[in-house]
Amino acid sequence: MTHIALPEPDHATIARRSDIVAGLSAAIGADRVISDEDGRRAYETDALTAYRRMPLAVVLPRSTEEVASVLRYCNREGIKVIPRGAGTSLAGGALPAEDAVVVCVTKLNRVIDIDYENRTARVETGITNLAISAAVSERGYFYAPDPSSQLACTLAGNIAMNSGGAHCLKYGVTTNNVLGVRMVLMDGEIVEIGGPHLDAPGYDLLALIVGSEGQFGIVTEATVRILRSAEGARPMLMGFPSAESAGAAVSAIIGAGIIPVAIEYMDKPAIHVCESFSKAGYPMDVEALLIIEVEGSEIEIADLLERIVAITKPFNPQSVKISQSAAESARIWRGRKSAFGALGRISEYYCMDGTIPLGRLPEVLGRISEICALQQLRVANIFHAGDGNLHPLILYDANDPDQSSKAEIAGAEILKLCVEVGGCLTGEHGVGIEKRDLMRVQFSDKDLALQMSIKTMFDPQWLLNPAKVFPLDGRPPIAAAAA
């Protein structure tokens, strides 16, 4: 996988590396700067591991002020900066460049304040997603967005990518759960956007910042909503003979006015891999599996599950299994959440992330099979069915250059298909480098020009994560110079 062009680094900057390391050390202290090769190697890629670039240096600031010092220095010296959290981006969002400094926020990981009455928490953004929930779970609260990578990924990365998860159908994605941020602009200015109140005054700058893929500034603190957990939750497994019947069942449930907290879909290849890895108790003889979870008290859960069973009857589920215990529920979710890991054990895979209108599911799955068959590759599909977010996982042999380039070709075709049926290139993983060159499939040049002008407004010299999101050609002159 090396189809994606990365800009030629600026050799003059690379030649200044030891000065830059000295400059960074002077700015925030040598103990915050990683400059040796082994140390830097840990940061040379993210979860899109086919692409690797060794950065000039990595800095690990411990306060907003230190971030500001680093950015002020880099801005003055015209050095590019790659913000980084845990490096789990699947889109190459955190991929370094040889002429750039990585600013990694994982040492900024404190919980600053928990306000249960207002149901908010103030945290530093290097905290992991799961650690936020862990900090408030004692009192029965949680932080809602739950990417499968939640054990590792940081809130900083979640904010930059506007990450989602299986339970976003009910609780929304990152943008719906963040109330305010502290952000350092490239010139070192610290701005405070939003706060503990429900809506911020003036323009919705927060809406622009969430999902800006590290291109506007470095977010160091955030106020997030914390929610009281439901009294209980229970998943149910439903197996169907076809994608059509499973898709129709999902439509019928939602059409009947029930919004479960999660509806996850797996096709047969995905079921088999997950089941053999985690023994979750998934049915093996079905074409499509739905994991449907509802919440509430015992009576409410029983009532909702009963209704769902009745609503889906006409679609002839081959198997219906309601979880009978907390242990079984945990197993069911572990199976789903470890899907990527399980697949990773049998093969390299390329994880796609398009969104489609639910009604087009059977057609889209059919065409995905054709696209992959044409490249002689296998594919497994995992789908956040309630909100249309599809993850085709294209299996390939990484040691075979031909196969990996075919995987990239198939992936691009699949994403074009998502756009063609009324969906989009990415539902939660972000554009990064991966979908950068496909942006014109979804947007007109005018749409892209507007987005790029917003980038310029936040970062006039295009020093922050510049090689990402927008095709390298057609950029404003300043950006072209920076890239």
Partner 1 sequence: MKTLLRPAADWELANIISDAAARRLPLELIGAGTKRAMGRPVQSAAEITLKGMLGIMLYEPNELVMSARAGCTVAEVEQQLASRGQMLPFEPVDLGPLLGLDAGQGTIGAVFATNLSGARRVYSGAARDHLLGVKAVTGHGEMVRSGGRVMKNVTGYDVARGMTGSWGTLAALTEVTFKVVPRPEATATIAIFGLPDEIAIEVLCKAMSTPYEITGAAHIQQGPASRLWSSAIRRGGKAATVMRLEAPSKSIAYRAEKLRQLFKAYGELHVIDTQPSLEFWQEMRMMTVMQGSTHPLWRISTSPKLGPAVVAAIARYTPVEAVYDWSGGLVWVEVPMSADAGATDIRRVIALHGGHATLVRADAAVRNSVDCFHPLDPGVERLTRRLKSTFDPAGILNPGRMYATM
Ligand X SMILES: Cc1cc2nc3c(=O)[nH]c(=O)nc-3n(C[C@H](O)[C@H](O)[C@@H](O)COP(=O)(O)OP(=O)(O)OC[C@H]3O[C@@H](n4cnc5c(N)ncnc54)[C@H](O)[C@@H]3O)c2cc1C
Which residues would be at the binding site for ligand X (CB under 6 A)?
A: 46-47, 82-90, 93-94, 105, 125, 147-149, 153-154, 156-158, 160-161, 163-165, 213-214, 218-219, 340, 428-430, 465
- Tell me if 323 contacts partner 1 by CB under 8 A: no
Q: Is residue 180 at the binding interface for partner 1, with CB under 8 A as the rule?
A: no
483: number of Cβ within 10 Å? 19
Report in angstroms how near the CB of residue 262 gets to partner 1 at its nearest: 13
Tell me the one-letter amino acid at 294.
V
Q: List the single partner that 93 binds among partner 1, ligand X, none, CB under 5 to 8 Å by kind.
A: ligand X
Among residues 439, 442, 444, the alpha carbon closest in space to that of 468 is found at: 439
DSSP letter at 50 equals T
Taking the C-alpha atoms of residue 239 and residue 247, their distance in angstroms, rounded to an integer, is 12
> What is the Cα–Cα distance from 409 to 404, expressed in whole angstroms?
9
Q: Which of residues 258-277 bind partner 1 (CB under 8 A)?
A: 258-259
Chosen residue from 13, 35, 69, 120 binding partner 1 by CB under 8 A: 120
Candidate residues 197, 279, 313, 345; the one interacting with partner 1 per rule CB under 8 A: 197
Q: Which residue, 355, 361, 385, 366, is CA-closest to 290?
A: 385
Piece of the chain touching partner 1 by CB under 8 A; list 2-10, 126-134, 204-212, 323-331 = 204-212
Write phi, then psi, for 322 (nearest 5 degrees): -95, 135
Sequence-distant (6+) residues with CB within 8 A of 383 are 264, 265, 266, 361, 389, 390, 391
What, of ligand X, partner 1, none, does residue 176 touch, CB below 5 to 8 Å by kind?
Answer: partner 1
317/388 with CB nearer ligand X: 388
Q: Choosing among partner 1, ligand X, none, which partner's interface includes residue 147 (Cβ < 5 to 8 Å by kind)?
A: ligand X
CA-CA-CA-CA dihedral for 26, 30, 32, 36, to nearest 10: 120
Integer Cα distance of 413 and 201 in angstroms: 42
Residue placing its CB nearer to ligand X in the complex, 317 or 335: 335
Q: Between 240 and 282, name the residue whose CB sits nearer to partner 1.
A: 240
Q: Which residue has the tokens 């994606």?
A: 4
In the bound state with ligand X, the residue whose beta carbon lies nearer, of 83 and 180, is: 83
Which among partner 1, ligand X, none contacts residue 90 (Cβ within 5 to 8 A by kind)? ligand X
**Contacting partner 1 within 131-160 (CB under 8 A):** 140-141
As a whole number of angstroms, the distance between CA 444 and CA 471 comes to 12
